[in-house]
Structure 1
Amino acid sequence: MPVKVSVIVPVYNPGPYLETCVASLLRQSLPPDEYEVIFVDDGSTDATPALLDALAAEHPRVRVIHEENSGWAGKPRNVGIDASHGAYVMFVDSDDYLGDEALERMYGYGVANDADVVVGKTAGRGRRVPVELFRTNRPRATVENAPLIDSLTPHKMVRRAFLDRTGLRFPEGRRRLEDHVFVTEAYLRADNVCVLGDYVCYYHVRRDDGGNASLRPFDPAGYFKNLREALDVVERYTEPGPLRDRLFRRWLRVEMVERLRGRRFLDLPEDYRRELFDEIHAVVVERFGPGVAAPLQPTRRVVAALAAEARYDDVVAFAEWETGVALAVDPEDVEWRSGVLRISFTAELMHDGGPMTFPSAGGSPRWPPHDVAEAVRWLGADTVGRFDRAVPDLLLRERASAAQYFQPAEVVRETVPAGDGSRVRLVLRATATVDPATAVSGSPAGEGLWDVWVRVDLGGWTKELRLGPAPRHGHGRPAPPAGVVGGRVVLPYWTDRHASLALDVGHASGRLGLGRVSAGDVTVAEERLQIVLPLHVPAATAALLRLTGARSGGSREVSGTLSPGGRLAAVLPIDELTGGTWLTTVCLTPGAPGARFHPLPFALHIDADGVLVVPAPQPGSARRAARRVRRALYRALGRITIRRR
């Protein structure tokens, strides 16, 4: 078979992280003879070379190339490109790993859309990754119609023929931002770029030992010299005007303004902080016209203006003011409606522990501001003017993988008077809907734990916060019951530690509340058993009841139906059960992978006279326990009998 994908992995002293990377590459769903893995060892000084050679000896699809240390990842990637046989090449770092179907899905999507570059959805494990880019699939993306420029890491799949035709390769040597230069040129020269947003293809990992090369401290002069090379690429392939300004804005926003804000800036050593500021000022003045900074959101525009005017002390003072900004999210209601979870909440910005307020109307503060106080006034007025476009997002984030998915939401924006009326609060009220059957880009949410996050982009602040703490009505934390929807058990619950909202898909047992079922929730008429369970059931579905002998240990399984209202109905095989006490468990999703039986807090004692519902015997003598609870139930509830034929 021709090789479809060549995976290129530059390696230098990766430590234990290589094991996770290798495992993800070997378990790809793409058939083994349709892809190859090329490890380019860049002069590792640990046990890595021998480990890679052993791996290649065991797996025919793995090749290893040993090189003298080049100082950075550019040359090893180029060596891998030249040695590759695949129709596409995929760049992976040894710290990171792939989703199990990443190569198959990305290759298929690239071929289907005749793409030179395929960008797969990325999840950050302790690292920030683009969010908006992966809101949806994009079969034909460009730097004009999609935020491609937000994703400049090298972890893309690129057509080998495109690389050969253009001669595109990574800059080599000990340097920074080689991926920015490569990826930017690829975006601008490709006939088509597609974005796969409905499956997490790449997991970008922050190492616990701080060993990620891209996160190490850098020399500002060298860093911004390399950044200018990326700007050179933009100038080479675009004309002066709005598109070039929009692309330049990415580097101004991410690589410059964000480095001068809040604690990130203030926590730097003073001499390094000043050197960083001077280099940023030089690039802003040298390369960016007025059209680059003007469309920035208010806070970023303030910082960019102060940097352009070399006002270092004001940048420090503004960063100190910004440290007081936070997001507050208040959950209001969580309820099931016809198998869909509706989550209502409010969100607003805070400052120094209280609600942030803004000017109610009038006035046009001077621009550019002459001091930080005026900058704050201008910022408030501009934020109010943009408030009609603010939209809070609700995201489901898988706890195990950090993969996150947008959920649809409706929003109402409220301007709430504050104090004497000259100031207002900007409050966002939203109701999001989470359909477990479609929550993951149209697919069902997988088994596991999912945290609920709220993301707000307002005034130039992008803040994320878990939805919590739980609302308190009286002394409880109300949460809807578990739902049996789409062949899965989905439990909304408030976490113990932070009282924030989470979903347990397919794993919950004790939290389901089945232990609250009482004898009054159980009825037997003729041979028909009915149990009212504390569950949300939008449509009738199959269930399975297992009856296990308290003394014999033998079991019988009885098919049943779970109906709206949580009513479980089943017909008991009385003749087979007479003469025993039967412990009860229920499977709410029979036939589903990993389906489990949940214990119910009662047993059925069946003899010639009828059926008696008793509390489930505790460990110890089942006979004594059954006799004891039977006497108690006789006195409290009387007998439940059936007519014998």
Structure 2
Amino acid sequence: MPVKVSVVIPVYNPGKYIEDCIASLRRQSLPPDEFEAIFVDDGSTDDTPARLDALAAEVANMTVIHQEASGWSGKPRNVGMAASQGEFVMFVDNDDYLGDEALERMYDYAVANGADVVVGKMAGKGRGVPVELFRRNHPRATVDNAPLIDSLTPHKMFRRAFLDRIGLRFPEGRRRLEDHVFVTEAYLRAENVSVLSDYVCYYHLRREDASNAGFQRFDPVGYFQNLREALDVVEKYTEPGPNRDRLFRRWLRNEMVERMRGKRLLAAPEDYRKELFTEIREVVLERFGPGVAAGLQPTQQVVAALIADDRLDDLVAFAEWEASVVSRAEPDGVEWDGGVLRVGLSAELASRGTPMTFPAEGSATPLTTPPASVEEAVDWVGAQGVAGFERATVDLLLRKRASSAQYFQPVEFTRETVPGEDGRVRLVLRGQAALDPATGADGSPLDAGLWDVFVRVKLGGWTKESRLGPVPLKGRTAADAGVAGGRVVLPYWTTKEGTLALDVDSASKRLGLGRVTCGEVTITGDRVEVPVPFHVPGDTPVLLKLTRGSGGASAKVPGTLRPQGSTALLEAELPVADLTGAPWQVALSPAPDAPEPRSHPLPFALRVKAGRVQVMPVRPLRPAAGKRLVRRARRLAGRLVARLRARGR
């Protein structure tokens, strides 16, 4: 069968970090005979070459090419591309990994839309990834109608015939930004680029030892010379004017201004700070006209103006002020409504622990000359923030703690100007988010696990993220668990920070089932009714698991959760004739159709005497008794091991 996708992985001394990459390739839903993985070992000196040789010998669709160290990823990617047989080529770094369905989904999306390039949604663990680009699918994206230029890493799928037709290859040698040169030209010359945003295709990881190539300190002279090559590509394939300025703005913002502002600038050693400033200023004066900086956010415009005006000391002073600015999001109610979790919130900027205030009157006066002082710069930014408040937005995102996959949730919000001190005002965003467990992951149900709630604020020229909270109720539930979308979802306040999070299909004690008492259990003939602390949007099928004694016979009984005020009523018909002998322990599976359904014990047992069902309390195991059992088990295990050893002598 023809190979649909060739996955090319440049490799250099990844050690243990390559294992997740390998495992994700072996889990792909695309059949093994429809894709190949080509590992190009660029002179590794650790155990990786032997690991890859063993892998290639074991797995038919995985091969390894060994070569002398070239110094960077460009040459191994080109070598892998030359050896590839696939209709499409996908580039993956050796310390990252793919979503299980990534290759199948991206290939099908490429074919459906006739795409030369497919950009799959990314999740970053300790690494920044584009956010706005992945708000929705873009079947026909361009640099004009989507923020494609925000994603210049090579971790995409490219049509091999397209790369061959235009002769596109990565720059080689020990250098930086080879991916910017490659991807920018691909965007500008492709017939179509498609952005797949409803599934996390690529997980971009920062190693625990922070030894990813992109995190190493670089030589500013070489770095910005390589950056000029990316700008050359833009100049070659665009005409002078607003579109070129908008593309250039990406490099001015991300690679220059952001290195010269806030905490990032302050963290740089003074000598390195000066080196960066010198090289950045040279590029700014050499390549960027006034239209490039004019489209930046106000704070970024100030930084760009100070760079051009050769004022490093003022940049540092401005960074010290800006580093104190954070966003603060406070919850305003968490409650279930028809299977949807409604989360109220208010958000604003804060500085040095207090709400940030702005001048009462705004001004949209453009920054035509550099500000005379840092104080003047701060005043100008504040006036711009008020003038642009009608464009301020707030978003709520769910981010899975284990993988960093994140999803926007619907938010309705209003903007409010609140009087402050000295005639100034606070700019506050108030909203309510709707979290639907059935569709919260871009139309799909939320996966099992822990999900943190983040609030993303665009206000006053900043884009800031923060957790929702804190509240003083650390470690407590924020609302009863909801059974919705085939999931059991428990909103709670985290123990460490008191911020909002969701536990999906993994909570046990916090569900509150231990609060049910025998007196609340109603038996009518063979029918049992029990109020339980769950929210359900309507009649919800569940499953009861009955187990005789400790580990004896078992039976599964279908039941229903019915809405009853703010809680639910569990109803089931018991197989009374079968419930003979010792008491039967009762466990509830609220979401029996979940991918990994769980059963939660209820604090009572059932026993049938003379044809009548009796309810008996189940005493929880006391901590001291539990410890005694553990010690006893250890002693018995030790004796058994000793006997076995004695026999073996």
TM-score (norm: length of structure 2) = 0.92
For 2:434 and 2:463, locate their aligned partners in 1 and report how far apart those are by CA, in whole Å.
22
Contact persistence 2:8–2:80 (CA under 8 A): yes
**Structure 1 residue 576 displacement after superposition:** 3.3
**Structure 1 residue 181 displacement after superposition:** 0.4
The one-letter code matched in structure 2 to 1:527 is D
For 2:5 and 2:260, locate their aligned partners in 1 and report how far apart those are by CA, in whole Å.
41
The one-letter code matched in structure 2 to 1:316 is V
Per-residue CA deviations over 1:138-162 (Å, capped at 9, x if unaligned) read: 1000000000000000111000000
**Structure 1 residue 325 displacement after superposition:** 0.9
Per the alignment, do residues 156 and 234 of structure 1 end up closer, same or farther by CA in structure 2, a change over 3 Å counting?
same
For 2:286 and 2:490, locate their aligned partners in 1 and report how far apart those are by CA, in whole Å.
56
For 2:531 and 2:32, locate their aligned partners in 1 and report how far apart those are by CA, in whole Å.
51
The answer for the alignment partner of 2:51 in structure 1 is 51
For 1:66 and 1:515, locate their aligned partners in 2 and report how far apart those are by CA, in whole Å.
59
- The alignment partner of 2:118 has SS state of strand
Contact persistence 1:119–1:195 (CA under 8 A): yes
Per the alignment, do residues 524 and 305 of structure 1 end up closer, same or farther by CA in structure 2, a change over 3 Å counting?
same
The answer for the alignment partner of 1:193 in structure 2 is 193
The answer for the alignment partner of 2:33 in structure 1 is 33
For 1:476 and 1:175, locate their aligned partners in 2 and report how far apart those are by CA, in whole Å.
48
After superposing the two structures, state which structure 1 stretch, 502-511 or 117-126, moved more.
502-511
- The alignment partner of 1:16 has SS state of helix
Contact persistence 2:478–2:493 (CA under 8 A): yes
Contact persistence 2:513–2:603 (CA under 8 A): yes
Per the alignment, do residues 231 and 609 of structure 1 end up closer, same or farther by CA in structure 2, a change over 3 Å counting?
closer
Contact persistence 2:412–2:431 (CA under 8 A): yes
After superposing the two structures, state which structure 1 stretch, 25-34 or 354-363, moved more.
354-363
For 1:411 and 1:45, locate their aligned partners in 2 and report how far apart those are by CA, in whole Å.
55
- The alignment partner of 2:506 has SS state of coil
Contact persistence 1:117–1:193 (CA under 8 A): yes
The answer for the alignment partner of 2:630 in structure 1 is none
- Counterpart selection for 1:586 from 585, 588, 601: 588
Per the alignment, do residues 44 and 477 of structure 1 end up closer, same or farther by CA in structure 2, a change over 3 Å counting?
closer
- The alignment partner of 1:359 has SS state of coil
- The alignment partner of 2:280 has SS state of helix
The one-letter code matched in structure 2 to 1:559 is P
Per the alignment, do residues 519 and 42 of structure 1 end up closer, same or farther by CA in structure 2, a change over 3 Å counting?
same
Q: Within the alignment, does 1:573 sit opposite 2:575 as a pair? A: yes
The one-letter code matched in structure 2 to 1:548 is T
The answer for the alignment partner of 2:601 in structure 1 is 599
Q: Which runs of 5+ in 2 are unaligned?
A: 623-649
The answer for the alignment partner of 1:558 in structure 2 is 557
For 2:98 and 2:496, locate their aligned partners in 1 and report how far apart those are by CA, in whole Å.
31
The answer for the alignment partner of 1:360 in structure 2 is 360
**Structure 1 residue 440 displacement after superposition:** 0.6
The answer for the alignment partner of 1:442 in structure 2 is 443
Equivalences for residues 319-468 of structure 1 within 5 A: 319-361=319-361, 367-420=369-422, 422-468=423-469
For 1:54 and 1:550, locate their aligned partners in 2 and report how far apart those are by CA, in whole Å.
50
**Structure 1 residue 578 displacement after superposition:** 5.7
- Counterpart selection for 1:608 from 607, 610, 619: 610
The answer for the alignment partner of 1:103 in structure 2 is 103
Per the alignment, do residues 605 and 64 of structure 1 end up closer, same or farther by CA in structure 2, a change over 3 Å counting?
closer
For 1:476 and 1:25, locate their aligned partners in 2 and report how far apart those are by CA, in whole Å.
38
- The alignment partner of 1:358 has SS state of coil
- The alignment partner of 2:496 has SS state of coil
The one-letter code matched in structure 1 to 2:262 is G
The answer for the alignment partner of 2:294 in structure 1 is 294
- The alignment partner of 1:29 has SS state of coil
Count residues with an aligned counterpart.
617
Per the alignment, do residues 15 and 522 of structure 1 end up closer, same or farther by CA in structure 2, a change over 3 Å counting?
same
Contact persistence 2:475–2:493 (CA under 8 A): no
Per-residue CA deviations over 1:296-355 (Å, capped at 9, x if unaligned) read: 111111101111111111101101111211111111111100000110111111111111
After superposing the two structures, state which structure 1 stretch, 506-515 or 357-366, moved more.
357-366
Per-residue CA deviations over 1:505-528 (Å, capped at 9, x if unaligned) read: 111111111111123321122332
**Structure 1 residue 568 displacement after superposition:** 1.1
After superposing the two structures, state which structure 1 stretch, 237-246 or 571-580, moved more.
571-580
For 1:616 and 1:374, locate their aligned partners in 2 and report how far apart those are by CA, in whole Å.
71
Contact persistence 1:603–1:617 (CA under 8 A): no
TM-score (norm: length of structure 1) = 0.93
For 1:582 and 1:617, locate their aligned partners in 2 and report how far apart those are by CA, in whole Å.
14
For 2:591 and 2:90, locate their aligned partners in 1 and report how far apart those are by CA, in whole Å.
39
**Structure 1 residue 618 displacement after superposition:** 5.0
**Structure 1 residue 390 displacement after superposition:** 1.0
Contact persistence 1:123–1:203 (CA under 8 A): yes
The answer for the alignment partner of 1:178 in structure 2 is 178
The one-letter code matched in structure 1 to 2:610 is A
For 1:67 and 1:17, locate their aligned partners in 2 and report how far apart those are by CA, in whole Å.
20
Per the alignment, do residues 618 and 478 of structure 1 end up closer, same or farther by CA in structure 2, a change over 3 Å counting?
closer
Per-residue CA deviations over 1:518-555 (Å, capped at 9, x if unaligned) read: 23321122332111111101111222223333479333
Contact persistence 1:121–1:198 (CA under 8 A): yes
Equivalences for residues 193-272 of structure 1 within 5 A: 193-272=193-272
For 2:545 and 2:296, locate their aligned partners in 1 and report how far apart those are by CA, in whole Å.
62
After superposing the two structures, state which structure 1 stretch, 219-228 or 359-368, moved more.
359-368
Contact persistence 2:526–2:613 (CA under 8 A): no
After superposing the two structures, state which structure 1 stretch, 562-571 or 234-243, moved more.
562-571
After superposing the two structures, state which structure 1 stretch, 410-419 or 361-370, moved more.
361-370
Contact persistence 1:331–1:471 (CA under 8 A): no
Q: Within the alignment, does 1:90 sit opposite 2:73 as a pair? A: no
Per-residue CA deviations over 1:563-602 (Å, capped at 9, x if unaligned) read: 1121111122333336653322222123433212211112
Per the alignment, do residues 117 and 309 of structure 1 end up closer, same or farther by CA in structure 2, a change over 3 Å counting?
same
Q: Which runs of 5+ in 1 are unaligned?
A: 621-645
Contact persistence 1:579–1:608 (CA under 8 A): no
**Structure 1 residue 609 displacement after superposition:** 7.7
- The alignment partner of 1:538 has SS state of coil
